[in-house]
Structure 1
Amino acid sequence: MKVRPFEEVVASHGATVLRVCRAVVGASDAEDAWSETFLSALRAYPALPEDANVEAWLVTIAHRRALDVGRARSRRAVPTATVPDRHDERADPAARDPDLWAALQRLPLKQRHAVAYHHIAGLPFAEIAIILGNSPDAARRAAADGIKALRTHYCKDEAS
């Protein structure tokens, strides 16, 4: 069986891919996800086995690219009309709770980073491991040890 030209694949499955993209990211970003899907598919298409379910393959790619587009959208800066002149205490943890900040500063560097990345930034341990140059288990352990140390030091500081 001869492999169909990629243009035929796009024509046959383009509408399905667009529906998947709309379902995942909504109408506003669906076209970007659709384009990303077919760019990824075009690169991988020559290696696709002849007996592969092309529609299922494209739906899988579409789902992943739509998630990527959604993540990118959530990370974009939101413009504002005015910039506040006053100091925002939320941006400065030491201004809100200097004792907690001092306890956090006493942690070893990897523990401090693991606590901040996971509990403040909300990153998963797999990503923290990449940043810290260790395994996800080591990142999880560093965060747990950091929280344990904070409970010990911070609670003692509060009591005194």
Structure 2
Amino acid sequence: MSLPPFQHLVDEHWRDVARLAHGLAPGHGDDVAQQAWAQALAAYPRLTHARNLRSWLLTITHRCAMDHHRSARRTTPHEDLSLLDEAPTHPAPEVPDGDLWARVAALPQRQRDAVVLRFVGDLDHRAVAAALGTSPGMSRRLVSDAIATLRLDLRDQP
């Protein structure tokens, strides 16, 4: 099976990559998406099949977001390491349900990533597991735990 032209892939999936990048790296989504497209372009000629290209792209996007978070941690000055003990605060994505996404941003990183991949990236649990490097059962558990936490938070709000 031959691969479609890369431009066709971009035209078909650019929104998915952008949404996921902005969901995983609020405030840096454009940079993450650009990095993901650059990596996809470099790897595209080596692909041997055209099965599930969307999932392949979203996995690359997730890895780029994680690389971005790792590099941001490495550039933290040593005297500011005390800030790492505080809960991370990320601006919520610009969506109508900003309060909900602010709560999602406050989840532990793996739960947050699983929720964003599942609901923003619209991936099934097998694809979420592949992106996170875990099993589909663990993917389900991460999403379930995140939803349970969000329900409690929303129920407890005034």
* TM-score of the pair, normalised by structure 1: 0.44
Of structures 1 and 2, the one scoring higher in RCO (CA 8 A, sep 6+) is 2
